[in-house]
C-alpha cells in the first residue's frame, strides 16, 4: 500500500468533481430552492421560508400522490417477492434448460422501460388486446375490461412494473441461494424434512439478510420510480389515478414551472424515505445486513 496522498487524491479528483458538482451540490441547492418561490427557468426568486411545506400539508393532491405512491410501492414490492422468490427457488434446482431459462427470465429487466410500457399497453388494449381476448374467450369476464381507464389503470401499472422488475428479486435471491452449503439440506433430508420444512427451516433463515436488503431496495426504488408511471398515462386524463409523488414533483416543476414547490416535494420524498428506512431498521434490527 502506497502512502502517497497526493497521487491518491489526484486519481480520485475526476470522480469527486463529478459527484460533488452534479450530486452533492444539487442536493444542497435543492434544499435551498425549497425555501424559495422560483420559476423553473426565470432567474428571480423570493424567500418564502417553510411556506411550500405548509401548503403541501393541506394539499389534497399531495396526499393523493402519497397514497398512490404507498399503494404502488407496497403492492409491486409484495408481488415481486411472490413471483421472484419461487422463480429463484426453481432456477436453483437442476433440470435441463435451466441456464437458458436463467437468461430468459432476465429479459424483462433488460429491455428499456419505454418498450415494456408500450408492450403492455398493447397487451392490455381494450378492443384488440390479447389479455382481454383471453379473459373473454375463457369466460372470466363477460365484456372486455378498460384496462387503461380510470378503474383499472393502477392495476395495469402494477402488472407492468412487477413484470419489469421481478427479475431483480430472482437474480439477487438466486445469488444467495447458491451460497447455501448443500450439507444443510442433506442433513435436513436425512432427518426426513419435507420440501416445505426444508424451505422454512434452512432456506429462510439462511436468506433472511438478503430478503431484508431486497425489500428495502425495491421499496425505495418503486416509491421513487418515475419513468414507468409517467409513461403509463402521461399527464392528462387518467394519469391522476396513478399520480405518485415523483410524477407530482415533476408536474409541479416542469408543467406548472414552480421549481421551488417541486424542490420541496423532493425534500419531502427524501425525508419520508429516511424515516421509513430508520423505522424498518429498528423493527427488524438487522444492522449487520448491509455491512
Partner 1 sequence: MRRAGAGRAAALYAGGLSLLLVGAFPLFWMVSTSLKPSGEIFATPPRLIPAHPTLENFQRLLADTNFLTFFRNSVIISLTTVALTLVVSALGAYSLTRFSFAGRDKVAGLVLLTYMFAPIMIIIPFYILVRLFGIANTRLALVLSYTTFCLPFCLWLLRAFFQSIPIELEEAALVDGAGRGRAVWHVVLPLALPGLIAAAIFTFILAYNDFLFALVLISSDELKTLPVGVNDLFNATIVDWGMIMAAGVMITAPAVAFFVAVQRYLIQGWGAGGVKG
* Residues of this chain, 43-72, that bind partner 1 according to CB under 8 A: none
- Which parts of 223-282 interact with partner 1 (CB under 8 A)? 224, 226-227, 230-231, 234, 246, 249-250, 253-254, 259, 262-263, 266, 269-270, 273
81 vs 87 by CB, closer to partner 1: 87
- Which parts of 68-127 interact with partner 1 (CB under 8 A)? 83, 86-87, 90-91, 93, 95, 97-98, 101, 103-115, 118-120, 122-123, 125
- Shortest Å, Cβ 125 to partner 1: 8
207 near partner 1, judged by CB under 8 A: no
- Which parts of 162-201 interact with partner 1 (CB under 8 A)? 163, 165, 167-168, 171-172, 175, 186, 189
Backbone angles phi, psi at 192, to 5 degrees: 85, 20
| Contact status, residue 185 vs residue 89, Cβ threshold 8 Å | no
Backbone angles phi, psi at 138, to 5 degrees: -85, 0
284 near partner 1, judged by CB under 8 A: no
Angle between helices 25-33 and 259-284 (to 10 degrees): 110
Pairwise CA distance, residues 37 & 288, whole Å: 43
Pick the piece of the chain touching partner 1 (CB under 8 A) from 51-59, 63-71, 146-154, 212-220: 212-220
| Contact status, residue 276 vs residue 216, Cβ threshold 8 Å | no
Pairwise CA distance, residues 28 & 34, whole Å: 10
6 vs 283 by CB, closer to partner 1: 6
Among 203, 116, 129, CA closest to 162: 116
Amino acid at each position: 500500500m502506497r502512502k502517497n496522498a497526493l497521487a491518491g487524491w489526484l486519481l480520485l479528483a475526476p470522480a469527486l468533481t463529478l459527484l460533488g458538482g452534479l450530486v452533492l451540490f444539487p442536493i444542497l441547492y435543492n434544499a435551498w430552492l425549497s425555501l424559495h418561490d422560483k420559476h423553473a427557468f426565470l432567474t428571480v426568486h423570493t424567500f418564502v421560508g417553510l411556506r411550500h411545506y405548509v401548503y403541501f400539508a393541506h394539499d389534497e393532491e399531495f396526499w393523493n400522490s402519497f397514497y398512490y405512491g404507498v399503494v404502488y410501492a407496497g403492492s409491486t414490492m409484495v408481488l415481486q417477492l411472490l413471483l421472484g422468490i419461487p422463480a429463484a427457488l426453481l432456477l436453483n434446482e437442476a433440470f435441463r434448460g435451466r441456464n437458458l431459462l436463467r437468461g430468459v427470465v432476465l429479459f424483462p429487466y433488460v429491455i428499456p422501460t419505454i418498450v415494456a410500457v408500450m408492450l403492455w399497453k398493447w397487451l392490455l388494449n381494450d378492443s384488440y388486446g390479447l389479455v382481454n381476448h383471453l379473459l373473454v374467450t375463457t369466460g372470466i369476464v363477460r365484456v372486455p375490461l378498460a384496462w387503461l381507464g380510470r378503474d383499472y389503470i393502477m392495476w395495469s401499472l402494477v402488472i407492468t412494473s412487477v413484470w419489469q422488475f421481478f427479475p431483480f428479486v430472482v437474480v439477487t435471491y438466486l445469488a444467495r441461494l447458491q451460497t447455501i452449503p448443500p450439507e444443510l439440506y442433506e442433513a435436513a433430508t436425512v432427518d426426513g424434512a419435507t420440501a416445505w420444512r426444508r424451505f422454512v427451516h434452512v432456506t429462510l433463515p439462511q436468506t433472511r439478510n438478503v430478503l431484508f436488503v431486497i425489500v428495502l431496495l425495491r421499496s425505495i426504488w418503486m416509491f421513487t420510480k418515475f419513468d414507468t408511471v409517467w409513461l403509463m398515462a402521461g399527464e392528462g386524463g387518467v394519469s391522476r389515478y396513478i399520480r405518485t409523488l415523483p410524477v407530482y414533483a415533476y408536474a409541479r416543476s416542469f408543467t406548472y414551472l414552480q421549481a421551488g414547490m417541486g424542490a420541496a416535494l423532493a425534500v419531502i420524498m427524501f425525508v419520508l424515505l429516511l424515516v421509513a428506512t430508520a423505522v424498518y431498521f429498528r423493527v427488524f434490527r438487522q444492522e449487520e445486513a448491509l455491512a
